[in-house]
Structure 1
Amino acid sequence: MKVPRFLREADQGGAVVRTYDYDDESIIVVDLGQTSDIETDLVGKTAIVVIGDRQFEFELPPDARDISIKNGILTISE
């Protein structure tokens, strides 16, 4: 699964972005470095991530089926 451009740029800004490819799925994991005040929403294929008073939007990869956030870790799975 291809990492969205916004997340590739977040990697350069200090967030840790990793991809894991398994036989039956791919996962993108982003450590946002915060454990509170992070929310995520999905509108169609657009992910909206709110961190405190900042909001970020990005298109999910075409094969993404799930997005979640837990303890400051954003996970997109196929």
Structure 2
Amino acid sequence: MEAPRQLRSAAAEREEITIAHREYEDENVVAIDFGPGVEATLDIVGETAIVVAGESQYEFEIPPEATDVTTNDGILLITE
């Protein structure tokens, strides 16, 4: 699973945003870190995720293969 296009574009434009892909035995996780000291909050409305990180807001459709979308210590986690 790839990170949503909106988040990949933001990472390409802003050096402090990093995207990591982790593969475990029973799941795959995409972790998006918005930078040091930046807390990300998440709202889900229907199939749309709204993330506010610092002064920026990102909206994206939740990938159909995602089983969970959460934040942990300010990092956005999309689990498959």
TM-score band by shorter chain is: 0.7 to 0.9
Corresponding residue of 2:70: 68
Gapped regions of structure 1 (runs ≥ 5) = none
1:56 aligned to 36, 58, 68, which one? 58
Distance 1:21 1:38 in 2: 22
What RMSD, in angstroms, separates the aligned Cα atoms of the two structures?
1.9
The corresponding residue for 2:41 is: 39
Is residue 5 of structure 1 aligned with residue 5 of structure 2?
A: yes
Aligned partner of 1:23 in structure 2 is 25
* Number of residue pairs aligned between Structure 1 and Structure 2: 78
In structure 2, stretches of 5+ residues that fail to align are: none
TM-score (norm 1): 0.80
TM-score by length of 2: 0.78
**% same residue:** 42
Give the stretch that moved more between structures: 68-77 or 49-58: 49-58
Does the Cα contact within 8 Å between 1:38 and 1:52 map onto a contact in 2?
yes
Deviation digits for residues 36-59 of structure 1, max 9, x if unmatched? 553101112211011244321011
